[in-house]
């Protein structure tokens, strides 16, 4: 992985998150998944079909991170900002698209995929005490997420006040009050979608790996978790100390492996 890109994209160095530390924590968790997925993909190369499906999911992680970060830097151009935000949402869903499905991932309908990711987010919320998305908001998210995924093809785009519908092309013709930072939209929609998708990824490619490749999974997972605990999480723990950050309970629950120094800082 390109370390220069990694350093530039580090969420604790970015200003586009506003005051939303939970967004920074989420993208920090996403970066751990990128590293874990890359390591796992090397070990699964002998299993071509499984490896290819893993990579379809893994390849969506970096754009899920960078597109949202880039959107935060072009707030004076609403069309471009929302297009990048839309692409970050689509990438987050693509992470989940190749999870829990052995075949036919391309045929999953968007409503079904959204429903599965939202349900995964709900399950994470139920298992933690500090998840920032309230249970009752998930129904709203599931209903309105398609508007942000398809805002450029909808006849109208809903923003803020539910009675204020704005044609997509009009976004480029006026400065819209309240649309000077993507953090609010990201917290409402991208956060739960990404959380749900990463939870599905972990369950599919780690917990259920024996179902994909058989008995070889035990040795592969032992090697992987050893590397995660003794190398990746050690480096990440130092980064958290350097930035004076502490991961919340929901982030620790989402991260793979129960032998992490991140929880003992």
Q: What is the DSSP string of 82-134?
A: HHHHHHHHHHHHHHHHTSS-SS-GGG--HHHHHHHHHHHHHHHHHT-S--SS-
How many Å apart are CA 133 and CA 142, to the nearest integer?
A: 13
pLDDT in tens, the chain (265 residues): 445 555 667 888 887 777 778 999 999 999 999 999 999 999 999 999 999 999 999 999 999 998 888 887 776 777 778 788 888 999 999 999 988 654 555 668 888 899 999 999 999 999 999 999 988 889 988 888 887 776 555 434 444 444 444 554 555 555 555 555 678 888 888 999 999 999 999 999 999 999 999 999 999 999 999 988 888 888 888 888 888 888 999 999 999 865 555 554 4
What is the C-alpha separation between 165 and 221, in angstroms, rounded? 50
Query: pLDDT at position 151, please?
Result: 57
The answer to whether 205 and 57 are in contact (CB under 8 A) is: yes
Q: In sequence order, what are the beta bridge partners of 165?
A: 158
Residue 1 corresponds to which tokens in the numbers above? 């992985």
Query: Rounded to whole angstroms, how far apart are CA atoms 162 and 59?
Result: 35
DSSP letters, 5-31, are HHHHT-GGG-STTTT-HHHHHHHHHHH
**Cα separations in angstroms, 181 against 19, 56, 70, 178:** 11, 30, 12, 8
Long-range contacts of 230-239 (CB under 8 A, 24+ apart): 232/32, 232/35, 232/36, 232/39, 233/32, 233/257, 233/260, 233/261, 233/262, 234/261, 236/28, 236/32, 236/262, 237/261, 237/262, 237/265, 239/10, 239/12
Residues in a beta bridge with 157: 166
Q: How many Cβ atoms from other residues are within 10 Å of residue 232's Cβ?
A: 21
Half-sphere exposure in the Cβ direction for 77 (13 Å, CA): 9
Six token digits for residue 111:
């409503």
Phi-psi region of 154 (alpha: psi -120 to 50; beta: other; left: phi over 0): beta
User: Which one, of 37, 199, 27, 34, lies nearest residue 118 by Cα?
Assistant: 199
Q: How far apart, in whole angstroms, are the C-alpha atoms of residue 95 and residue 193?
A: 10
CA distances from 156 to 90, 144, 181 (A): 19, 13, 21
Task: Report pLDDT for 103.
Answer: 52
pLDDT score for 255: 92
Burial 166-200, CB ≥16 within 10 A → b, else e: bebeebeeeeeeebebbbebbbbbbbbbbbbbbbb
Centroid of chain to Cα 151: 20
């Amino acid at each position: 992985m390109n370390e220069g890109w990694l350093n530039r994209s580090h969420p604790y160095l970015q200003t586009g998150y506003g005051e939303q530390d939970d967004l920074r924590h989420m993208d920090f968790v996403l970066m751990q998944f990128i590293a874990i997925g890359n390591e796992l993909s090397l070990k699964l190369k002998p299993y071509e079909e499984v490896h290819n499906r893993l990579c379809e999911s893994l390849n969506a992680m970096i754009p899920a991170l960078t597109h949202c970060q880039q959107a935060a830097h072009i707030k004076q151009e609403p069309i471009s900002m929302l297009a990048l935000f839309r692409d970050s949402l689509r990438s987050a869903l693509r992470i989940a698209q190749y999870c829990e499905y052995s075949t036919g991932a391309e045929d999953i309908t968007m409503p079904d995929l959204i429903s599965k990711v939202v349900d995964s987010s709900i399950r994470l919320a139920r298992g933690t005490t500090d998840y920032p998305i309230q249970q009752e908001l998930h129904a709203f998210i599931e209903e309105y997420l398609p508007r942000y995924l398809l805002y450029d093809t909808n006849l109208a785009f809903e923003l803020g006040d539910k009675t204020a519908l704005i044609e997509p092309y009009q976004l480029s013709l006026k400065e819209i009050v309240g649309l000077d930072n993507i953090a609010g939209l990201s917290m409402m929609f991208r956060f739960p979608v990404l959380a749900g998708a990463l939870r599905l990824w972990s369950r599919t490619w780690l917990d259920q790996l024996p179902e994909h490749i058989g008995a070889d999974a035990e040795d592969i997972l032992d090697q992987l978790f050893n590397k995660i605990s003794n190398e990746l999480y050690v480096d990440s723990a130092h980064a958290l100390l350097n930035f004076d950050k502490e991961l919340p309970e929901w982030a620790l629950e989402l991260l793979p492996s129960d032998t992490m120094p991140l929880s003992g800082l």
